[in-house]
Structure 1
Amino acid sequence: MIHLTRLNDEEFVINCAQIERIESIPESNVILMNGKHYVVQESVDEIIDRVVEYNARILKEVQRVKL
């Protein structure tokens, strides 16, 4: 899950595993696999960075548990 911000400054959390694509319009439009979409303040690169960080945290936790 990653934190994003709508254009009205409302913060919310989204399941990044459900992201199908992100369009730049110039705001970022996050389209989910179910067809829902969210226009957010974060840039495409910021969203990608957050997804990568989230996945790295999960991988780190999995590796910790295996030890």
Structure 2
Amino acid sequence: MITLTKLNGVSLTINAMYIERIESLPDTTITLTNNKKLIVKESEELVKQYVQEFYKEIGLYQLQREVGEQENES
């Protein structure tokens, strides 16, 4: 789970596994797998860093890198 801040200053915690896309439009807009959109104060780069840290915490970051490397070898 990662904690972010909505534009109105309210904190929200979301499961990073449900993030489909992160864009700067110019506000950081997160699209979830259910197509719901969230607009947050944090930059796109910071959200990506939070997601990577979350993946490391739950042990998926290394697995994601290994799968990507295997796909590049094919």
- Interval of TM-score (by shorter of Structure 1 and Structure 2): 0.7 to 0.9
Aligned equivalents of 1:30 and 1:4: distance in 2? 11
Which aligned pairs between 1:33-48 and structure 2 lie closer than 5 A?
33-48=33-48
- Aligned equivalents of 1:6 and 1:33: distance in 2? 19
Q: Give aligned-pair identity as a percent.
A: 41
CA RMSD, 1 decimal:
0.7
> TM-score w.r.t. structure 2 length?
0.76
Aligned equivalents of 1:25, 1:51: Cα separation in 2: 19
CA displacement at 1:24 relative to structure 2: 0.5
- Note the 1:1-67 alignment, pairs <5 A: 1-59=1-59
Residues paired across the two proteins, number = 59
User: TM-score normalised to the size of structure 1?
Assistant: 0.84
Separation in 1 of the partners of 2:23 and 2:56? 24
Mark the runs of 5 or more structure 1 residues left unpaired by the alignment: 60-67
Q: Matches of 2:33 and 2:51 in 1, distance apart?
A: 16
